[in-house]
Amino acid sequence: MTTWGRGYPDKAFKVILHNSMKYLSTALYHSSQIREVERIAIEELHISGLQLMQRAGQAAFRQLQQRWPRCRQVRVFCGAGNNGGDGYVIALLALQAGYQAHVHASAASLPEGDALEARTAYLQAGGRVECFTEIAALTTETVLVDALLGTGLNRPPSDEYAAAIAFINAAHCPVLAVDVPSGLHADTGCVMGSAVHADLTVTFIGLKCGLHTGLAADYRGDWRLAGLDLPEQVYARITPAARLLEKHPLPPRPRAAHKGRFGHVLLIGGNLGYSGAIRLAAEAALRSGAGLVSVATRAVHSALLNLGRPELMCHGVENALQLQPLLSRVSVVVIGPGLGQDAWADELFAAVATCGKPCVMDADALNLLARQPFKAENRVLTPHPGEAARLLSMSVRDVEADRFAALAALHERYGGVCVLKGAGSLIGDGLSVYVATTGNPGMASGGMGDVLAGVIGGLLAQNQPPPAAAALGVYAHGEAADRVAARQGEQGMLAGDLFSELGACLCAE
């Protein structure tokens, strides 16, 4: 079975399946789970470790040939573990296919077990092994293969391996990474000191969590999954750690629908000088299909916010007493865009905290929640890494070091559904974790988070449960940005550019 993907994150995600093994197309695993699958295959199905290694090398070499058909020289950088063993298989296959094949390996440590057998077979076929430092001139037809460090890496590479990684990155040759780019943590996507920048990563048995979030997209390049022809029963006892996010669109509307069926969203924010954020969020709620959208904002802004969007009902609210009548007649609350953190913001936040309505908290509402933490299950939180760090009383670096752990900690402390934004946004409710598969770097601009908060609020108003609202909101938000990028490019994309695409992205094609 082979699946493939491309993009940042996987914006052109596509699946090619063999043997009807569709369950692997979205399943993400920790490296420990992959090792358990290997154990089951070896001990219970009697598929030898060397057979798995040979299948992995064959799959990677086929991808190399397909991706770079003009390649004539293959230089494989092999480590001492099974990842290096895969590399020796690739080098042997290249040698047998008439390529100039070279292996570069550490002089200090030799492989053992199956990897040693693979090395021996390569040497017996006439292959040579040179040190990392013994590298002749590279040609325009050279492909480098990174088989240095596999999924077991949990600390920065040694100086010798770091030097090899630095050479690969500086060589200006195409790079194929075997299983995981060396230096990239397979479970978290965190770079362990330094990592290989691959053009293509061929990963084996199952997709690794760390290849799809955080910094991973800048290092893994395109990706392919080779299932190594393991039967479905091998995976039956392993519950995936997460899944790639798929689209589950809204159902078609009844022909006799009316606005009362699609909820009433109240958006709270737009403090002095920050009216733009709440305006973006409010229009996003409209564009996502909410029946009615009201805005509670500073009185000085209320008469201006709907000048370009008269469908918005804007109210000047200066205290919680003025807010209560609005809270009583809406079905969903979104609080935070442009809210600020002054006394006005504190008072409105406190009123929302006790209202009991389904809620989306974003931006400054998250900063206020960090100061006044409480749990709620009918709520969606949408922090970026900086806001998540404040919610968890840790550094941004700690959040980014393990985004999956940070997501779990957010749910544990605050309940509900959490969307940890960033490349490969994570969505979790304590039971399931999903990794975003849409979106692009053009979204790194002001107001994008406000639009997402409004979209999720609009979906909640349409009776979507919080996990479904968060998941579809993240997917459609990213897909809308991908459509905009396809039309006009990523550079200079504005949050408001997404509005023309949102409706189509929420519905079935």
Domain match, 410 and 454 both: yes
CA distance 400 to 375: 23
3-state secondary structure 23-70: HHCCEEECHHHHHHHHHHHHHHCCCCHHHHHHHHHHHHHHHHHHHCCC
User: What's the pLDDT tens digit per position in 109-150?
Assistant: 789 999 999 999 999 999 999 988 777 778 788 999 999 998
**pLDDT band at residue 479 using 50, 70 and 90 as cut-offs:** very high
Q: Name the least confident of 56-65, 101-110, 162-171, 203-212.
A: 101-110
CA distance 417 to 431: 10
Domain match, 333 and 416 both: yes
Q: Which of residues 242, 275, 306 is at a domain's end?
A: 242
**Of 364, 361, 392, which Cα lies nearest the Cα of 456?**
361
Q: Does residue 385 have a pLDDT over 50? A: yes
Domain match, 230 and 282 both: no
Q: Does residue 419 have a pLDDT over 80? A: yes
**Of 271, 274, 264, 358, which Cα lies nearest the Cα of 311?**
264
**pLDDT band at residue 17 using 50, 70 and 90 as cut-offs:** very low
In a domain, 147, yes or no: yes
Q: Which of residues 212, 242, 272 is at a domain's end?
A: 242
- Residue for token digits 């077991």? 152
Q: Does residue 202 have a pLDDT over 60? A: yes
In a domain, 247, yes or no: no
User: What's the pLDDT tens digit per position in 333-356?
Assistant: 999 999 999 999 999 999 999 999
The domain spanning residue 491 has which CATH number? Answer: 3.40.1190.20
The amino acid at 486: A
Q: Is 80 left (phi over 0), alpha (psi -120 to 50) or beta?
A: alpha
Q: What are phi and psi of 420, to 5 degrees?
A: -90, 105
What per-residue confidence (pLDDT) applies to 25? Answer: 87
Which whole number is the average pLDDT over 417-443?
97
Q: What are phi and psi of 223, to 5 degrees?
A: -135, 150
What per-residue confidence (pLDDT) applies to 353? Answer: 97
> With b meaning 16 or more CB within 10 Å and e meaning fewer, what string describes 16-51?
eeeeebeebbbbbbbbebbebbbebbeeeeebebbe
**pLDDT band at residue 16 using 50, 70 and 90 as cut-offs:** very low
Domain match, 373 and 442 both: yes
Domain match, 161 and 207 both: yes
The domain of 183 spans 2-242
What per-residue confidence (pLDDT) applies to 19? Answer: 39
Q: Please say whether the dihedral angle defined by the alpha carbons of residues 175, 179, 184 and 190, taken in this order, is positive or negative.
A: positive
What per-residue confidence (pLDDT) applies to 12? Answer: 30
**Of 442, 401, 444, which Cα lies nearest the Cα of 422?**
444
The answer, yes or no, to whether the previous bond of 325 is cis (omega within 30 of 0) is: no
Domain match, 276 and 421 both: yes
What per-residue confidence (pLDDT) applies to 9? Answer: 34
CA distance 509 to 504: 8
* pLDDT > 90: percent of the chain: 89
What per-residue confidence (pLDDT) applies to 46? Answer: 94
Give me 509's structure tokens.
């094609």
* pLDDT > 70: percent of the chain: 95
CA distance 143 to 44: 37
The amino acid at 153: L
The domain spanning residue 11 has which CATH number? Answer: 3.40.50.10260
Inter-helix orientation angle 364-371/385-392, to 10°: 10
- CA Rg value for the chain: 26
Inter-helix orientation angle 499-506/275-287, to 10°: 40
Q: Does residue 7 have a pLDDT over 70? A: no
Domain match, 196 and 281 both: no
Strands (E), 382-505: 417-420, 426-428, 433-435
DSSP 293-307: EEEEE-HHHHTTTTS
**Of 193, 175, 174, 176, which Cα lies nearest the Cα of 185?**
193
What per-residue confidence (pLDDT) applies to 13? Answer: 29
Domain match, 215 and 162 both: yes
What's the total number of domains in the chain?
Answer: 2
Q: Which of residues 242, 275, 298 is at a domain's end?
A: 242
For residues 119 and 91, is the Cβ–Cβ distance under 8 A?
A: no
Which whole number is the average pLDDT over 297-305?
95
Task: Please give the mean pLDDT across all residues of the chain.
Answer: 93
Domain match, 19 and 148 both: yes
Q: Does residue 6 have a pLDDT over 60? A: no
What per-residue confidence (pLDDT) applies to 5? Answer: 45
**pLDDT band at residue 79 using 50, 70 and 90 as cut-offs:** very high
Q: Measured between alpha carbons, how far is residue 1 from residues 177, 345, 404, 435 in Å?
A: 19, 53, 27, 22
DSSP 150-203: -TT--SPPPHHHHHHHHHHHHS-S-EEEESS-TTB-TTT--B-S-----SEEEE
**Of 450, 404, 351, which Cα lies nearest the Cα of 187?**
404
Which whole number is the average pLDDT over 257-265?
96
In a domain, 250, yes or no: no
Helix or strand (DSSP H, E) at 349 = helix 343-353
Domain match, 425 and 283 both: yes
User: What's the pLDDT tens digit per position in 362-371?
Assistant: 999 999 999 9
Q: Does residue 260 have a pLDDT over 80? A: yes
Q: Say how many C-beta atoms besides its own lie within 10 A of residue 69's C-beta.
A: 7
Q: Does residue 406 have a pLDDT over 90? A: yes
Which residues make Cβ contacts (< 8 Å) with residue 139, sequence separation at least 6? 72, 73
Domain match, 230 and 323 both: no
In a domain, 88, yes or no: yes
In a domain, 251, yes or no: no
User: What's the pLDDT tens digit per position in 277-296?
Assistant: 999 999 999 999 999 999 99
What per-residue confidence (pLDDT) applies to 276? Answer: 97
Which whole number is the average pLDDT over 269-277?
96
Which whole number is the average pLDDT over 22-51?
93
User: CA torsion, points 77, 79, 81, 83, in degrees to nearest 10?
Assistant: -30
Give me 294's structure tokens.
């009201």
Domain match, 270 and 219 both: no
The amino acid at 376: A
Strand partners, 250: 507
**pLDDT band at residue 21 using 50, 70 and 90 as cut-offs:** low
**Of 371, 492, 385, 359, which Cα lies nearest the Cα of 449?**
385
